[in-house]
Structure 1
């Protein structure tokens, strides 16, 4: 197995250093591609001096999916892994990855998050949607065969969040299995996707970002089907009830609750519109009009 590991990063110098040190200790013979952009905390110097890094790409965009795609395009391995900027691999990570990818198109594993008094661990998440068996994965701990990445055309750069879940839906639509390996574990100390939010949309409430993403990927993957409003409505009702409890306890103001509800409705409608447009733009099985092949000019500088 010829393995490449892509690590997107943005303003996380100290956490990235720990991630690179863990790769050096537990995956010393893999190709490491770091995609930085645009950090202002000395990340570039750290990466250029770290012995485990083979390629550094500098980007001007803050979108984590643009960084992922740029790294995937530059990597040379026949197996391509994505690792979060604050996700430290553990002993046995490479062996578990190798075992999982032997009989699947993608492989993922648990993420341990440090909390007071110990850590929490994510379990495998699976859903059956319109006849598809979808195995979800985190974009900060997953590996693909090169053939699978090329079939997906990488990640959909329209999405600010949830692109890994979108890719999971698309893999399921191609009947490409995703393996879960408990030994392919990482320890994470922050939420990687949040730090890569697109600056141009910084004025959009997080509720709006969430529902635009959810609506877009549902409409793009499943079209005009009852499952789209059903799943949107179920998520919205659950979230609305949770926030309503905060209003009753005084932790949330009614005006903020109303504003968030308005953001949900507006962005869900926009997401459905854009998702249907994307569905028409790129048909099955890929469903990715904003992937690697569409954006080959993103890298500002490359250091080998």
Structure 2
């Protein structure tokens, strides 16, 4: 197994340093590619000097999925993993991956441990059935693909500022690829995976709007207009509305904020569904990715080999 590890990053120098230390210690033979968004905290200098980094890609885009796709296009391994800049690979990560690949796994995912007072929490495997399709979700900051699977997907959908890993899970299921969940394929994340949040900081769309635009987009793109899918989006919105209303009645949120967020949800869903249906028309193939690696071959970036 020839392994490449793609690490997207943006203004997270200290966390990236810990992630690279772990990769160097536990995966000394892997090709490590760091894809740096327009950081302003000395990230480039760190990567150029770090022994674990084999390739540094500099992108002008503040887009997590653009970084993931740039790394995918540049990676040379027959297995390509994506690790968050805030994640430290644990002992057993490599062996769990190698075993799953040897058993014929298409995609390998595992838990994300998060530090809490008194110990760590563990992210369990999440599955769902959508329109008759069995979907296994995964964290985009701890997943590995066989190269042919990643290329069949054409990488991640760069339209999405959040939820691209969940979109990829829907598309994998639609193409009948299986996600192998391995408990030992684990990372420790002490600060949360805030890459997407940092890269979305410049967006003029409220957080609720981004979430529901992404939800509407991926459901419409992957399944079209179906009553069961529409109910799924409505059910999510109602649950969030209830939680927000409880905060209003509890005095933790102003009624005006609740109304503003509700408006963002509605406009986000509508915009997402419209764009999702347009994307579905643009790519009628099973991969459902009109904004993937192949559409960005002219991407502007700089490459360095420390």
Shorter-normalised TM-score: what interval?
Answer: over 0.9
**Match of residue 153 from structure 1:** 154
CA RMSD of aligned residues (A): 1.0
- Contact 1:140–1:192, Cα closer than 8 Å, also in 2: no
Q: C-alpha displacement at 1:132, in angstroms?
A: 1.3
Structure 2 match to 1:10: 10
1:191 corresponds in structure 2 to 193
Kindly indicate whether the alpha-carbon contact (under 8 Å) linking 2:224 and 2:277 is maintained by their aligned counterparts in 1. yes
Distance of 1:199 and 1:4 partners within structure 2? 29
TM-score (norm 2): 0.97
**CA displacement at 1:116 relative to structure 2:** 1.9
Tell me the distance in 2 between the aligned counterparts of 1:115 and 1:9.
24
Render the CA deviation track for 1:118-141: whole Å, top value 9, x for unaligned: 211100001111221111000000
For normalisation by structure 1, the TM-score amounts to 0.98
Give, in angstroms, the shift of residue 106 of structure 1.
0.2
Q: Secondary structure at the match of 1:112?
A: strand
SS of alignment partner, residue 5 of structure 1: strand
Matched residues in 1 for 2:194 and 2:27: separation? 21
Query: How far off its partner does 1:200 sit?
Result: 4.7
Partner of 1:229: 230
Which is worse superposed, 128-137 or 294-303? 294-303
Assess if the C-alpha contact under 8 Å between 2:157 and 2:289 holds in 1. yes
Per-residue CA distance 1:109-158 (angstroms, 9 max, x = gap): 00001112221110000111122111100000000001101110000000
Q: Structure 1 residues 149, 93: closer, same or farther in 2, change over 3 A? A: same
Could you tell me how far apart the structure 2 residues matched to 1:148 and 1:17 are? 30
Aligned counterparts of 2:180 and 2:202: Cα–Cα separation in 1: 36
Q: Does 1:29 align with 2:29?
A: yes
Gap runs ≥5 in structure 1: none
Mapped pair 1:110 → 2:111: yes
Residue aligning to 2:124: 123
The 2-side partners of 1:145 and 1:161 are apart by: 23
Moved more, 209-218 or 293-302: 293-302
Q: How many residues align?
A: 303
Alignment of 1:1-304 (within 5 A): 1-102=1-102, 103-189=104-190, 190-198=192-200, 200-201=202-203, 203-304=204-305
Tell me the CA shift for residue 240 of structure 1.
Answer: 0.4
Please state how far the C-alpha of 1:232 moved relative to its aligned partner.
Answer: 0.7
Change in CA separation of 1:299 and 1:95 when aligned onto 2, cut-off 3 Å = farther
Aligned-residue offset at 1:301: 1.0
Cα distance in 2 for residues equivalent to 1:289 and 1:28: 35
SS at match of 1:107: strand
Asked if 1 retains the 8 angstrom alpha-carbon contact of 2:94 and 2:185, the reply is yes
CA distance in 1, matches of 2:225, 2:107: 28
Q: CA deviation at 1:39?
A: 0.4
Quote the Cα distance in structure 2 between the aligned partners of 1:70 and 1:43.
17
Q: C-alpha separation between the residues in 1 aligned to 2:165 and 2:68? A: 11
Distance 2:54 2:198 in 1: 23
Q: Tell me the distance in 1 between the aligned counterparts of 2:86 and 2:303.
A: 22
Instruction: Report the Cα offset of residue 199 of structure 1.
Output: 5.0
CA contact (8 A) 1:124 1:180 kept: yes
Distance 1:200 1:93 in 2: 34
C-alpha distance in 1, partners of 2:224/2:196?
Answer: 28
Q: Is the 8 A contact 2:63 2:196 kept in 1?
A: no
